[in-house]
Each structure stands twice: as C-alpha cells, then as structure tokens.
Amino acid sequence: MREDAPGIMGAIEPPPLALYIHTPWCVRKCPYCDFNSHAADRSPPFDRYVAQLLADLDMELRAPAARRPLSSIFIGGGTPSLFPGPAIRTLLDGIRARTRLAPEIEITLEANPGAADAHRFDAYRAAGVNRLSIGVQSLSDRQLARLGRIHRAADARAAVAAARAAGFENLNLDLMFALPDQTLHNAAADLDALIELAPEHVSYYQLTLESGTDFFAHPPALPDGDLAADLAAQGLERLSLSGYRQYEVSAYARAQRQCRHNLNYWRFGDYLGIGAGAHGKLTVSTEESAGWRIRRSVKNPHPQTYLEAPSELLAGSLFELTEQDCVCEFALNAMRLTQGFELGLFGQTTGRPIALIADLLGRAAADGLLILSANWIRPTPLGRDFLDDLVSRFLFHDSQADAG
C-alpha cells in the first residue's frame, strides 16, 4: 500500500499514537481467557523476546506516520509480570532510544498477583513504568479457585501493598462480576473488599463465555441476564458512592485517573502493536496527497513462530480499512464512552464526513438511544443498557444504500 495514496478528506491532523506491547506467556491458561496467552512449560526466553520486540518496533517505525510522539505505552498479556525487571528496563530503554515520548507519558504494565513480587515492582518502577494494572478478578478464595486463578485473595492484597511500597501512585484493579453462582450479596462483598484497597482505577466487567475457552466448552452455572444486569447496576452504584466515575462500560476512575491508553482506543486513536498476536492501527497520510488511509496490522500469534520470524515477516496480516470498516470500528469503540464524544471526532479519526452516518445517528436518537446536540453525541441510559443494539445499527452500514 502506497503511503501517498489519495485520501477521502483534506489534510487533517492525525489522531494520537500509542504503543501496545504483547507478552504471550502465563503460568497457566485461565478457563475463561480467550486472549493470545500460552502456558509457559519452562522459563520463557525473555531476552530473546525483548530483542524481537525491538526489531518489530524498528519495522513499524519505517512508516513515517509511526514516528509521531507516543502518548502512552501499555505492556499487556499474557502475564507481563513474569518478565524480570532488567528485561523491562531493556525494552523501555530501547523504546526511548527509538521514539519520541509525550511529556508525562503513561506507561502501564499488567501484573498477575500470582506472578509478582516487591523486587520486580521496584525494578519496573525504576525502569519507567508508572501505572500498574493488577488482575485481581475476585477477592473470594472460593471464586478464584473456580476461575482457575493461581493466586489467592491474600496474594492480591500483598501485590497492592508491594506496588504502593514501590512508589506506584496509579493502580488499576480488575474485578469480574456475574461469576458462577454469584449473588447480589457476595458480589457486593467482593466489590467492597476491592474498594478498600483504594485503587485509582477499577475495571469492573462481566464474566462472559468466549468461544474456544474451557468455560465455553464446559459452562459453569452463571447468573441469568436479569441478575447480571442487577449486579452491574449494583456495582455502578457502589463505585459511584466511593468516588469512582464510570467513563466507559466497564471502566471507573477517580478524578484525572482515566486510563489514557484505553481512552485512545475508545476514541479511535492510532496505536502501534508489537509482540506475538499484537494488533495495530495506523493513519497514514502525506501533505502532498492531502489525504489519508487507515491500515491495520496483526502480528504472528504463536510465541515460537514470532520469535523465529525474520523481522520483515513478523506481520501476519496487513490490510486497509474500508469506509464501512471505519464506521463499524468507530461505533464499536466510541459508543462505549458513557459521557459520549464530540461531534467532530468521527471526521477527525476516520477522515470521513459526519454526514455519512447522520441518518443512523438520527434514527438512534429518535429511538431514545442517543442524545444529539450541536457539538456532542452521548448514549442515553437506555443506549448504555442496550449497547449491543446501539452499536449493531452501525455494523452493517451501507453508504450506497443510504445515498439512495
């Protein structure tokens, strides 16, 4: 694909750029997990993997559009906290040597309470990580065992204490609801125990059965739809009373503590993706052509295949988004924002005029799913409750049919 291909709109400032880094290994695969993660039979080749990550980044940076300053870095997995501190330092030093970082950049690393210790947290902080996302999932030992987690509630509390002792002032804690046989009472107790740990950010999300997982093949007894909705509403109320503002379907934060990296996803920003199975999105443009195209990349998913591939063959696929892709992907992300988004965001991130989806927006507003103003689009409470229905209206958009 040529970078000077003519675009749809005139030259517009491209969206912010972030970097996602995927680490593929876990101690054990959880039965509900459909992420690209692989149980480590022995000690993974951390140093080789970091070297390949940096070679991957070098290939990404061959595109001029990839050389914009990075607004955030997110090291996800898998279990990044399996990596020793020196490996994370080598990785971040290599990124700093190759790219420009925005002032006060947010650098997040995911940690599993069963694969973390104070020494590593100290090393991560010294390497430049300034935000930890800890996968607590539950503070009930019974539920943790049913979820196949390798840690206990005491390990989660110890991980939070270790993170604070290492100087981390920005923590996210993940917690799931609608767990096997869960009731309103024990879900409330689980959430209250998490709130007592005083994280700056909470990801509170529903356990779902994903295709290809052990739970999908052998489903546990989960709460029905009505109870799951009650659990979500209870969670929103308790988190709000504790000072956490919901800003996305499953994301709650104290003031000024929203996850900048995830906000960039939901606002349809750009991101480079390096690592086994990592996805990327990049807006490519030139002043000469006064336009742009949006391309997606997906890296080889299997760790060994990724490690052995020549750097120029790391990408498993590379494709350009069509107009319909842009509409679908924008809706899938931006409609998740509970406070909505500015009217101009669609054009600023897709390069297409808002008129392209004006009829769809109008019909959703007429059905009570959206509130439209001169400068803002926001889901209504009904739209948030029936988000799948709201988003589905944009998934099969056909501009030719609309034009007729």
Cα gap 96→129, rounded to integer Å: 12
CA angle at 187 for the pair 384 and 184, rounded to the nearest 5°: 80
**What pLDDT score was predicted for residue 160?**
97
Instruction: For residue 22, give the nearest of 73, 65, 67 by alpha carbon.
Output: 73
pLDDT in tens, 123-153: 999 999 999 999 999 999 999 999 999 999 9
Read off the tokens for 199.
Answer: 């994280």
Q: Which fold has domain 17-263?
A: TIM Barrel (3.20.20)
**What pLDDT score was predicted for residue 1?**
26
**What pLDDT score was predicted for residue 312?**
83
* Identity of the residue numbered 178: A
8 Å CB contact between 166 and 134: no
**What pLDDT score was predicted for residue 81?**
95
Average pLDDT estimate for 91-100: 98
Is the dihedral angle over the CA atoms 263, 206, 238, 170 positive or is it negative? negative
Whether residue 226 is predicted with pLDDT greater than 90 in this model: the reply is yes
According to the CATH classification, is domain 323-404 in 1.10.10.10?
Answer: yes
Give 101's pLDDT tier (boundaries 50, 70, 90). very high
pLDDT in tens, 203-215: 999 999 999 999 9
Whether residue 2 is predicted with pLDDT greater than 80 in this model: the reply is no
**What pLDDT score was predicted for residue 117?**
72
pLDDT in tens, 154-192: 999 999 999 999 999 999 999 999 999 999 999 999 999
- Where does the chain hold its CATH 3.20.20.70 domain(s)? 17-263
Whether residue 21 is predicted with pLDDT greater than 90 in this model: the reply is yes
pLDDT in tens, 271-288: 999 999 999 999 987 554
Whether residue 116 is predicted with pLDDT greater than 80 in this model: the reply is no
| Higher local confidence (pLDDT), 213 or 2 | 213
Give 396's pLDDT tier (boundaries 50, 70, 90). low
Read off the tokens for 157.
Answer: 């509390």
Convert the chain into a string of H (helix), E (strand) and C (coil): CCCCCCCCCCCCCCCCEEEEEEECEECCCCCCCCCCCEECCCCCCHHHHHHHHHHHHHHHCCCHHHHCCEEEEEEEECCHHHCCHHHHHHHHHHHHHHCCEEEEEEEEEEECHHHCCHHHHHHHHHHCCCEEEEEEECCCHHHHHHCCCCCCHHHHHHHHHHHHHCCCCCEEEEEEECCCCCCHHHHHHHHHHHHCCCCCEEEEEECCCCCCCHHHHCCCCCCCHHHHHHHHHHHHHHHHHCCCEEEECCEEECCCCCCHHHHHHHCCCEEEEEECCCEEEEEEEECCCCEEEEEEEEECCCHHHHHHCCHHHCEEEEEECCHHHHHHHHHHHHCCECCCEECCHHHHHHCCCHHHHHHHHHHHHHCCCEEECCCEEEECHHHHHCHHHHHHHHHCCCHHHHHC
Instruction: For residue 70, give the nearest of 86, 49, 47, 94 by alpha carbon.
Output: 94
Tell me what percent of the residues of the chain surpass a pLDDT of 90.
84
pLDDT in tens, 67-76: 999 999 999 9
State phi, psi for 252 to the nearest 5 degrees: -130, 140
Read off the tokens for 60.
Answer: 């990404």
Cα gap 52→152, rounded to integer Å: 34
**What pLDDT score was predicted for residue 400?**
40
Mean pLDDT of the chain: 91
Cα gap 32→30, rounded to integer Å: 6
Instruction: For residue 376, give the nearest of 323, 332, 334 by alpha carbon.
Output: 334
Whether residue 402 is predicted with pLDDT greater than 60 in this model: the reply is no
Average pLDDT estimate for 387-392: 94
**What pLDDT score was predicted for residue 91?**
98
The pTM for the full model equals 0.93
End-to-end Cα, the chain, rounded Å: 31
- Where does the chain hold its CATH 1.10.10.10 domain(s)? 323-404
